[in-house]
Amino acid sequence: MKEQIVEKMAILVTSAFGLVAALAWNDAIKKIFEQYYPNRGEGISAQIVYAVIVTVIAVFAAVLVGRAAGKEKEKSS
């Protein structure tokens, strides 16, 4: 039982730090977007472009992490 609690706590703490990192990246990407498109920082089209950029980055990161995890799993097998 104690092992399960420690495992769940580790997952929760890791998730919390992941959320904080995601929010930090969100702010950084917004600032970069505003720097290169200062007059287009508002409006629905800017929001859509921003959402597409963030989605592409998220998918790319997920693929990289998935590949790395797959390689580690193969090594341990």
pLDDT digits (tens, 9 = 90+) for 2-29: 888 888 888 899 899 889 998 998 888 8
Cα separation of 63 and 69, whole Å? 10
Give the torsion sign (CA, 54, 55, 58, 61): negative
Q: Residue 16's pLDDT is what?
A: 92
Q: Is the pLDDT of residue 39 over 80?
A: no
In this structure, which amino acid lies at residue 59?
Answer: V
Buried b (16+ CB within 10 A) or exposed e, 58-67: eeeeeeeeee
Measure the CA–CA gap between 56 and 61, rounded to whole angstroms.
Answer: 9
The band of 71, judged by pLDDT with boundaries at 50, 70 and 90, is confident
